[in-house]
Amino acid sequence: MTIIRNAIQCKKCGDIIESVSVHDFKTCSCGACSVDGGHQYLRRCAMSMDDFIELSEFQKEQDEKE
């Protein structure tokens, strides 16, 4: 799979944060969650998985099976 968009939305402050390159670590304005990895990997930092909404988008490679 290829990462097209690496983004989340913080449920506490509503910020949408997106990492666009490797080591592009971004944190929302309230500091509750962060995103990293650009199109290479997905990294999430938060106290709870319930603190954010996943907004990432992927593209399946032609030879990948479901």
How does pLDDT run across 2-33, given as a tens digit for each residue? 999 999 999 999 999 999 999 999 999 999 99
d(CA 52, CA 5): 16
H or E segment at 2? strand 2-5
User: Quick check: is 34 in a domain?
Assistant: yes
User: Quick check: is 62 in a domain?
Assistant: no
**pLDDT for position 65:** 65
The stretch 43-60 carries a mean pLDDT of 95
C-beta atoms surrounding 18 within 10 Å: 15
**pLDDT for position 62:** 78
**pLDDT for position 66:** 59
The stretch 38-66 carries a mean pLDDT of 90
CA neighbours closer than 13 Å in the CB half-sphere of residue 38:
7
User: Quick check: is 39 in a domain?
Assistant: yes
User: Quick check: is 66 in a domain?
Assistant: no
User: Quick check: is 12 in a domain?
Assistant: yes
Instruction: Give the total number of structural domains in the chain.
Output: 1
User: Quick check: is 64 in a domain?
Assistant: no
For residue 21, the enclosing domain spans 2-57
